[in-house]
């Protein structure tokens, strides 16, 4: 073992900060602290994806709220994180929510380079004006922002099959990015079908299961299925992790996203950022 070789590892006291540490000191920590070992082994084996893509089973499922919470959580940990929503239709409330968490480090045009005033799929507006946006153009915009940070959160538009340009969909953008994917879903009746379809489609696009997580968003419209959806989805999707995000509306989250990220939602956000590795089954 070369004791002078440096590795970037994840410290269990703060999952997201990279610390340079010699290999000799690293293995001393592993022997001393068994809790540290599994997190280190996961990071060494799989690495951490710089980009986290937040998609959903539908529109209005809570992607923007979760993205803002993840951004606040990462930045409060000392991580240089930024967030963007490349496509936005109908209004820029989502952009303002993300901007509130990154202190004006990016302009609105950088956070949301492709804006459409009508609340319809981007391709619909593009065809009306006989324009097109290529997948390459979007990748270029994302890469440019990625150079300014250590972790980049990308909020998608609607679900995987939303057409963003001629001949390509949200899922094609995800497939081109070296990223982890968080699927945001409502914890209500119907979510099992929608979530299974979404994850299956990601798998068809070549996204490995170890790079997929599901965030079940609780809400005030809970129904009889809300108590069992997490368990059933975890069984059917294993080893993909399913994380239950509690009802956040009662905290007035739009006014205190930062406080919530450090409080009631902190543990759940930690699982989503790093990935829950304490699960059974094999990855592929």
Shared-domain flag, residues 40 and 122? no
Shared-domain flag, residues 101 and 216? yes
- pLDDT for 186 equals 93
Shared-domain flag, residues 80 and 190? yes
Nearest to 154, CA basis, from 167, 170, 166? 170
Shared-domain flag, residues 59 and 183? yes
Is the distance from CB of 232 to CB of 192 less than 8 angstroms? yes
The answer to whether residue 145 sits within a structural domain is yes
Shared-domain flag, residues 34 and 132? no
- pLDDT for 44 equals 35
Shared-domain flag, residues 215 and 266? yes
- pLDDT for 77 equals 84
The answer to whether residue 282 sits within a structural domain is no
Query: Which residues, other chains included, contact 240 with Cβ-Cβ below 8 Å and sequence gap of 6+?
Result: 199, 209, 212, 213, 214
Shared-domain flag, residues 41 and 72? no
Shared-domain flag, residues 97 and 185? yes
Q: pTM to 2 decimals?
A: 0.79
The answer to whether residue 283 sits within a structural domain is no
Q: Can you spell out the DSSP letters for the chain?
A: --TT-EEEEE-TTSTT-EEEEEHHHHHHHHHH-TTHHHHHHHHHHH---SEEEEEESSTTSSHHHHHHHHHHHHHHTT--EEEE-SEEES-SHHHHHHHTTTTTSS-HHHH-SEEESSSS-HHHHHHHTT----HHHHHHHHHHHHTT-SEEEEE-SSSTT-EEETTEEHHHHHHHS-EEEEEEEESSTTHHHHHHHHHHHHHHTT--GGGEEEEEE--TT--TTTTTHHHHHHHHHTTSEEEEE---GGGTTTT-HHHHHTTTTHHHHHHHHH------S---
**Domain limit, last residue, from 29, 47, 65:** 47
State which residues of the chain have pLDDT below 70: 1-48, 248-265, 274-284
The answer to whether residue 119 sits within a structural domain is yes
Shared-domain flag, residues 17 and 70? no
Shared-domain flag, residues 133 and 37? no
Using a 10 angstrom Cβ sphere, with 0-12 exposed, 13-18 middle and 19 or more buried, the burial of residue 238 is: middle
Per the structure, the count of domains in the chain is: 2
For residue 180, the domain's CATH number is 3.40.50.300
The answer to whether residue 280 sits within a structural domain is no
The answer to whether residue 281 sits within a structural domain is no
Q: Which of 85, 148, 176, 266 is catalytic?
A: 85
Shared-domain flag, residues 174 and 127? yes
Domain that holds residue 218: 49-274
49 catalytic residue (yes or no): no
The answer to whether residue 157 sits within a structural domain is yes
Shared-domain flag, residues 11 and 119? no
The answer to whether residue 6 sits within a structural domain is yes
């Amino acid at each position: 073992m070369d004791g002078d070789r440096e590795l970037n590892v994840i410290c269990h006291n703060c999952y997201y900060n990279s610390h340079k540490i010699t290999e000799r000191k690293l293995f001393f920590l592993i022997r001393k602290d068994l809790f540290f070992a599994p997190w280190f082994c996961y990071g060494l084996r799989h690495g951490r994806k710089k980009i986290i893509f937040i998609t959903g089973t539908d529109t209005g499922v809570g992607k923007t709220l979760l993205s803002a919470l993840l951004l606040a959580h990462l930045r409060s940990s000392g991580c240089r994180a930024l967030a963007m929503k490349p496509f936005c239709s109908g209004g820029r409330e989502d952009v303002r929510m993300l901007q509130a968490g990154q202190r004006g480090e990016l302009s609105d045009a950088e956070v949301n380079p492709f804006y459409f005033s009508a609340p319809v799929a981007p391709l619909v507006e593009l065809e009306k004006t006989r324009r097109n946006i290529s997948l390459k153009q979007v990748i270029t915009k994302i890469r440019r922002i990625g150079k300014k940070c250590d972790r980049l959160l990308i909020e998608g538009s609607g679900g995987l099959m939303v057409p963003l340009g001629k001949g390509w969909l949200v899922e094609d953008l995800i497939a081109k990015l070296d990223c982890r994917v968080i699927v945001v879903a409502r914890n209500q009746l119907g979510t099992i079908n929608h979530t299974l379809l979404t994850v299956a489609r990601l798998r068809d696009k070549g996204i490995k299961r170890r790079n997929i997580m599901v965030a079940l968003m609780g809400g005030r419209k809970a129904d009889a299925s809300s108590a069992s959806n997490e368990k059933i989805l975890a069984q059917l999707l294993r080893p993909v992790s399913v994380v239950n995000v509690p009802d956040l509306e009662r905290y007035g989250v739009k006014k205190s996203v930062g406080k919530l990220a450090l409080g009631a939602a902190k543990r759940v956000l930690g699982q989503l950022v790093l990935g829950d590795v304490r699960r059974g089954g094999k990855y592929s």
